[in-house]
Amino acid sequence: MAQTKYIFVTGGVTSSLGKGIIAASLAKLLQSRGYKTTIQKLDPYINVDPGTLNPYEHGECYVTDDGAETDLDLGHYERFLNVRTSQANNVTTGRIYQSVIEKERRGEFLGKTVQVVPHITNEIKERVQLLGNSGDYDIVITEIGGTVGDIESLPYIEAVRQLLWELGDDNAIVIHLTLVPFLSAAGELKTKPTQHSVKTLMESGIKADILVCRTEHEISNEIKDKLALFCNVKREAVIQSIDASTIYDVPLLMQEEGLDTVTLQKLALPNTVEPDLTRWNEFLVRHKNPKNEVTIGLVGKYVELQDSYKSILEAFIHAGASNEVKVNVKSVHSEYITEDNYKNKLKGLDAILVAPGFGERGIEGKVKAVEFARVMQIPFLGICLGMQMAVIEYARNVLKLADANSTEMDENTPDPVISIMEEQKTVTDKGGTMRLGAWNCDLKDGSLVKKMYEGASQISERHRHRYEFNNAYLEQLENAGLLATGFNKETNLVEIVELKDHPWFIGVQYHPEYKSTVANPHPLFVGLVKAALDYKKAQSNATLA
């Protein structure tokens, strides 16, 4: 295409309406019609990135191949599109201001007074168009975080207004996502919040081209007519977004509502190719019609907030569909696992996943969960900190190094089987200073993990951590049966451990969940779900016998 087209997705009335899912669903529909599409997220908070944010504050931090710590919505983008994102796909106010201040310090503004308009808005516009100017995409969808009317969002809204004017007719549109609440006392849906939200947007100089209305109840044609009239949009551009049983239904619901059709019309793009959603529909059929079910324990310390482990939960959905198995995830708070209750807390599980995390809170509970999985021969996957806990548990209970630990938890441990990397010892800043992004890993012949990756000799996986397996204990641990089966050649760091005498026990230093998509479920999650089903069947047979 001669010129990249831009779609801006804004939100009104309230947060958490699902702008990311709507953006990803529209992108999926456009992609399935043959348009090269990507999505970016503009976040209005002043953090440079979400890397230092508590998961309770902001959900999980999603990591890209190029090592960017980003918003969890980028995970949705990748899972839907099966296209890799990068640093350019997530921009925060902190990064915008940091860049402008650095330019001012270098004297690039030639003595001008640095202001929100034009300097901050120009920086935003430049970031928005980075992906479009690359020549790789026909359409760039930009999701604006927050809610219209927020003080934090104003520079972004102004930048969008300028871009709409600069790019010209048919080259950029605005999709506004709002809430149409149902008042049970009145027994009806109310359009007034949406009208006020659109009015607030118009006060900033932006007219919504398409209105997507989140609702728990069907929106009648009469209400759609009313919204079109009072919000100044075409009738066909009022799109209902009703609650769905799964986020993966949303692209199909948006297709039924004609969101992709009206979008192409507004952008003056050909609407001649019907969306090819064959593989997507096949996934949905498998997901909704499982032949078996398993229960997998997710042992972590942020389990109260589902978004803290969003990518893991979605990876289980992909792997479950691949195996035609319904995966029931049982959240187990590691802080409350003790010597006295661990058997009761972990009973009835067909597999155990010990989740990533930082800091010492809940660590002993994770160690106990690993021990239970090892001793009881329950399928086990440890991710990042979960892998480190597996090493600590083995060192303590098999090597009898009673005080073995990670220097993250105990700087003075006599047996630091997990310790900080040399190059990390002088690092004082927390943000963006870990081992981040995609790193290669060589897999050992004959290992379980190589079998899971279908015989691949080398893989590339994403990391986010500061502490590593201490090679000083490698020989001792391997001789005792905990095998290192994946190494990074450049650093000689252990990436994967597995147990010799266990049906399915793998710990990985990286985050496999980040690369699981609808089109390509991650092989470790597929393998864990299959192992869980095998374990469940074996237990059932043993009971019958």
152 marked as part of a ligand binding site: yes
Q: How far apart are CA 307 and CA 72, in angstroms?
A: 8
385 marked as part of a ligand binding site: yes
CB 427 within 8 A of CB 433: yes
155 marked as part of a ligand binding site: no
20 marked as part of a ligand binding site: yes
CB 296 within 8 A of CB 63: no
Report the SS3 class of residue 371.
helix
21 marked as part of a ligand binding site: yes
509 marked as part of a ligand binding site: no
56 marked as part of a ligand binding site: yes
51 marked as part of a ligand binding site: no
Report the SS3 class of residue 494.
strand
491 marked as part of a ligand binding site: no
226 marked as part of a ligand binding site: yes
For 318, the token pair is 């992909």
498 marked as part of a ligand binding site: no
Q: How far apart are CA 67 and CA 438, in angstroms?
A: 7
Beta-bridged to residue 458, according to DSSP, are 442
357 marked as part of a ligand binding site: yes
106 marked as part of a ligand binding site: no
Q: How far apart are CA 251 and CA 518, in angstroms?
A: 13
Task: Provide long-range contacts, Cβ within 8 A and 24+ apart, for 152-155.
Answer: 152/44, 152/45, 152/93, 153/44, 154/204, 155/93, 155/96, 155/116, 155/117, 155/120, 155/121, 155/124
Helix (H) or strand (E) holding 139: strand 139-144
228 marked as part of a ligand binding site: no
181 marked as part of a ligand binding site: no
149 marked as part of a ligand binding site: no
Q: How far apart are CA 119 and CA 104, in angstroms?
A: 10
Burial of 242 from C-beta contacts in 10 A (0-12 / 13-18 / 19+): middle
CB 282 within 8 A of CB 485: no
CA distances from 58 to 46, 214, 327, 352 (A): 13, 22, 25, 25
68 marked as part of a ligand binding site: no
Strand-strand pairing, 467-469 and 416-420: antiparallel
Chain-centre distance of CA 130, in angstroms?
22
Helix (H) or strand (E) holding 94: helix 93-105
Considering just the CA atoms, what is the radius of gyration of the chain in Å? Answer: 25
540 marked as part of a ligand binding site: no
445 marked as part of a ligand binding site: no
195 marked as part of a ligand binding site: yes
505: amino acid identity, one letter? F
75 marked as part of a ligand binding site: no
19 marked as part of a ligand binding site: yes
Q: How far apart are CA 261 and CA 270, in angstroms?
A: 10
Residue 421 — φ and ψ, nearest 5°?
-65, 150
17 marked as part of a ligand binding site: yes
Report the SS3 class of residue 154.
helix
199 marked as part of a ligand binding site: no
Strand-strand pairing, 139-144 and 37-43: parallel
523 marked as part of a ligand binding site: no
Catalytic residue positions, numbered: 384, 511, 513
Q: Around Cβ 439, how many Cβ atoms within 10 Å?
A: 20
73 marked as part of a ligand binding site: yes
Would you list which residues are annotated within the binding site for Mg(2+)?
A: 73, 143
Would you list which residues are annotated within the binding site for UTP?
A: 15, 190-195, 226
Would you list which residues are annotated within the binding site for CTP?
A: 15, 150-152, 190-195, 226
Would you list which residues are annotated within the binding site?
A: 15-21, 56, 73, 143, 150-152, 190-195, 226, 244, 357, 385-388, 408, 466
Would you list which residues are annotated within the binding site for ATP?
A: 16-21, 73, 244
Would you list which residues are annotated within the binding site for L-glutamine?
A: 56, 357, 385-388, 408, 466
